[in-house]
Amino acid sequence: MTRFALTLEFDGTPFFGLQRQKDGPSVQQSVEEAAFRILGEDVRLHSAGRTDTGVHALAMRSHMDIAKDIAPFRLMEALNAHLRPDPIAVTHCEIVPEDWHARFACTGRSYVYRIANRRAPLTLEKDRLWQVGTPLDHEAMHRAAQALVGLHDFTTFRSVHCQSDSPVKTLDRLDVEREGEEVRIHAAARSFLHHQVRSMVGCLALVGMGRWREEQVAEALEAKDRQALGLNAPPHGLYFVEATYPDDA
């Protein structure tokens, strides 16, 4: 068996998330079925992260083991051909050592959350950003966000469906910036809880709208209680940006 590392870009809109689901289409199912049609083998896709319905990926890292002899470039081209018309693209493919694991070897994950801060509905970027009509004070959002950076019990920002053993995580970065009418929140950590980014973004948006004092974000964290959550931001503004590994150049 040869292990192939893949980089995947996808539009999450038509999928019930990255991982296989009993009740609807998933990125994993599409990629595994495309691989079966090419190779005649049952392959299993392992990925750095899980994503929810509607969440996008710019560069998800995944791997799969293949018995058949095939060059990485040919595999990538064949997958891209067989994935049509699903909005999934393989943007990179290479052979990696057998002990490289897309999920377990991953030591850093980053996301960006995009908000269109405007009253007009979205056209060209529909399903790509969360539209917020109320003017957002992005500087207040950035200041409030810093209370979440570091080692904390993120119970408040964790879905009831979260399968993580512990709610304690280290958040490395939570930066808020504005470019014109777009507000972007950048989050990075070794790993995240289920719904953590969307939950943090939701509370920061309340600060930006002036509905929460800046200090309420820290208070919500301290509460360690899901009931203290202000708002869970919708999935379609969220992008998995990249996964990093100790052996990355």
CB neighbour class for 243 (10 Å; exposed up to 12, middle 13-18, buried from 19): buried
52 labelled catalytic: yes
Say whether residue 118 binds a copy of itself (CB under 8 A).
yes
Tell how strand 2-10 and strand 168-179 pair up: unpaired
| β-bridge partners, 53 | none
Among 121, 165, 227, 246, binds a copy of itself (CB under 8 A): 121
Residue number with CB closer to a copy of itself (82 or 194): 82
Q: Least distance to a copy of itself from the beta carbon of 244, Å?
A: 19
CB atoms inside a 10 Å sphere around CB 31: 25
Rounded to a whole number of angstroms, the minimum distance from the CB of residue 220 to a copy of itself is 31
111 is in an annotated binding site: yes
Taking the C-alpha atoms of residue 14 and residue 2, their distance in angstroms, rounded to an integer, is 31
User: Considering 23, 42, 52, 175, which one is annotated as catalytic?
Assistant: 52
CA distance linking residue 26 with residue 16, whole number of Å? 5
Find the shortest distance in angstroms from Cβ 46 to a copy of itself: 20
123 or 163, CB closer to a copy of itself? 123
In terms of residues, how long is the chain?
Answer: 249
Site string for a copy of itself, 122-161 (x = CB under 8 A): xxx-x-x---------------------------------
- Nearest-angstrom CA–CA distance, 227 and 216: 13
For residue 124, the minimal CB distance to a copy of itself (Å) is 5
36: nearest Cα among 81, 92, 87, 79: 79
- Kindly write out the interface string for residues 59-88 of this chain, putting x where it contacts a copy of itself by CB under 8 A and - elsewhere: -----------------xx--x--xx--xx
E-state strands within 121-222: 130-131, 150-153, 168-179, 182-189
**Cβ atoms within 10 A of the Cβ of 170, count?**
12
What is the longest distance spanned by two Cα atoms in the chain? 59
Which among 165, 247, 237, 163 has a CA at the least distance from the CA of 201?
A: 237
In the complex with a copy of itself, which residue's Cβ is closer, 93 or 229? Answer: 93
Distance, C-alpha 222 to centroid of its chain: 25
Size of the site for a copy of itself (CB under 8 A): 24
Task: Give the nearest distance from C-beta 62 to a copy of itself in angstroms.
Answer: 14
Task: List binders of a copy of itself among 10-69 (CB under 8 A).
Answer: 10-11, 56, 58
Residues tagged in the binding site annotation for substrate:
111
Q: Which residues participate in catalysis according to the annotation?
A: 52
Binding positions for a copy of itself, rule: CB under 8 A: 9-11, 56, 58, 76-77, 80, 83-84, 87-91, 118-124, 126, 128
Residues tagged in the binding site annotation:
111
